[in-house]
Amino acid sequence: MPARKAVQLLIKARWIIPILPAERVYQDCAIAVSGGRIVAILPWEEADKQFTPEQSVNLDQHVVMPGLVNCHGHAAMSLLRGFADDYPLDTWLNQHIWPAEKAHVDGDFVRDGTELAIAEMIRSGTTCFADMYFFPEQVAKVARRAHMRSQITFPVLDFPTNWGEGPDEYIAKGLELHDEYRADDLIRIGFGPHAPYTVSDEHLQRIAVLAEEMQAPIQIHLHETAQEVEDSIAKYGMRPIERIHQLGLLTPQTQCVHMTQIDSTDLALLTQSGAHVIHCPESNLKLASGFCPVGQLIDNNTNVALGTDGAASNNDLNMLGELETAGLLAKAVAGNPAQPSAHEILAMATINGAKAMGLEGEIGSLEVGKAADIIALETKHIGCRPIYDIASTLAYNNRSLSVSHSWVAGRALMLSSHLQTLNERDIADKANAWSKKINRE
């Protein structure tokens, strides 16, 4: 008998949903991890014969799957969770959120808010998140310290904020941050023009050129509301997506966030450009912004990924809840209970998010050679019994499941529901202190 091979980690699970191959479920199998990467997926008995692990984790009441990919958010806004609820978007932004940000947002606010957000995301199964917010250098530091995979897009707007005086300064700072993390294996820096209505043609064009030269991602709020589209037609004589297309900003590296207002010309531009749609159903529902036509996008071969948006408008960062809402809403909007399927819903929260970020070769599915970004969910809760189809349970009944383990590149972020890279009590104390400060003022 050949000698057993030493590996870093062996995860034995009742079920494994790899996402790719599509619609596949493995039962009573193990994942072997070495050097932070998946080296094998095989039955328990074969794993015991082939490998000697440094650490073995037995999860015989669990389902294991790729870590969830949260493709859009504003992490530090977790400190504004519940601060201004039940307002339309324009009122919410102009009368509540932007004044609060002007008064309170600085490096410390972003550091503490990002820690709070990452802790919540780890607890709910996210292993990779996209962020667009001020002081992105603080977001990057916290993400690196927590060993969390991330895409951090630095904001660009035409007006001054607490982070800078205007577009030229934002871009200069962002390029410096990009250079600092150029070789980082977990953090990718990109461009975050806030929206077509807050960034001029001149600066959108400059971002398009720089992003192409650097092969960097672009994330932009787009077609979030009907009013945005109407205002663009009145001012520019065209819809926002047509405008950014003409400016060179709509490419396979562009992530279009929200897209609740889509007509046939928009669909054609998305298909032609290869741009991605980031669907944030719960934030859109809460702000009454509209419905993203996920079924139409899927039919047109447009990649649809999911994001939570910020906790100030959601009010949580739980991607499990988001994927369930996305699936149910898509069926209602399309009038088709078969689309999307449970496996397609899970794909939107994993491999589709990886594709949107240009990371599909690294994460988003459990395949040999990919990074070991893995989560485990416990299934012993009475509310999820019986289990006929574990993918359906995850898509439609995941409130009865709890995330118990999380790894990024083979390093544990959570074991048996205990965070490993963050101090939860300290984070909660800081959040409470910020709440008291903001309430006083």
Q: Which two tokens stand for residue 291?
A: 């419905």
If asked whether residues 255 and 267 sit together in one domain, one would say: yes
State which residues form the domain around 332: 68-356
Same domain, 391 and 254: no
* 155 and 12 together in one domain: no
Same domain, 113 and 248: yes
Does residue 331 sit in the same domain as residue 400? no
Establish if 434 belongs to a structural domain.
no
Question: Within this chain, do residues 34 and 83 fall inside the same structural domain, yes or no?
Answer: no
- Residue 203: closest CA among 192, 213, 217: 192
Q: Give residues with Cβ within 8 angstroms of 35, minimum separation 6.
A: 8, 410
Q: Collect the ranges in the chain with pLDDT lower than 70.
A: 1, 440-441
pTM of the model: 0.97
DSSP 8-state symbol, 164: B
Those residues whose C-beta lies under 8 Å from the C-beta of residue 182, and which sit 6 or more positions away, are none
Residue 309 lies inside a defined structural domain of this protein: yes
**Residue 437 domain-assigned (yes or no):** no
Asked whether residue 148 is domain-assigned, the answer is yes
Residues 212 and 337 in one domain: yes
The verdict on residue 346 lying in a domain is: yes
Q: Please check whether residues 179 and 295 belong to one and the same domain.
A: yes
Structural contact between residues 312 and 84, judged by C-beta atoms closer than 8 angstroms: yes
Sequence-ordered alpha helix ranges (H) in 219-338:
226-236, 240-246, 264-273, 281-286, 294-299, 319-334
Candidates 116, 81, 118, 107; CA nearest to 430 is 116
CATH number for the domain harbouring residue 388: 2.30.40.10
Strand 126-132, strand 218-222: pairing = unpaired
Report if residue 427 sits inside a domain: no
Q: Measure the CA–CA gap between 218 and 196, rounded to whole angstroms.
A: 13
pLDDT of residue 72: 98
The answer to whether residue 365 is domain-embedded is no
Q: Please check whether residues 100 and 42 belong to one and the same domain.
A: no
Same domain, 42 and 146: no
pLDDT score recorded for residue 349: 98
Kindly report the CATH number assigned to the domain that includes residue 265.
3.20.20.140
CA gap 366, 374 in Å, rounded: 8
- Which of 356, 383, 417 finishes a domain? 356
Q: Kind and range of the H or E element at 187?
A: strand 187-193
Residues 56, 73 share a domain = no
pLDDT of residue 156: 98
Contacts of 129 (CB under 8 A, 6+ apart): 69, 70, 71, 73, 75, 117, 118, 121, 143, 148, 149, 150, 151
Same-domain check for residues 219 and 170: yes
pLDDT number for residue 287 = 93
CB 226 within 8 A of CB 261: yes
Q: How many domains does the chain have?
A: 2
What pLDDT sits at residue 441?
55
Could you tell me if residue 369 is inside a domain?
no
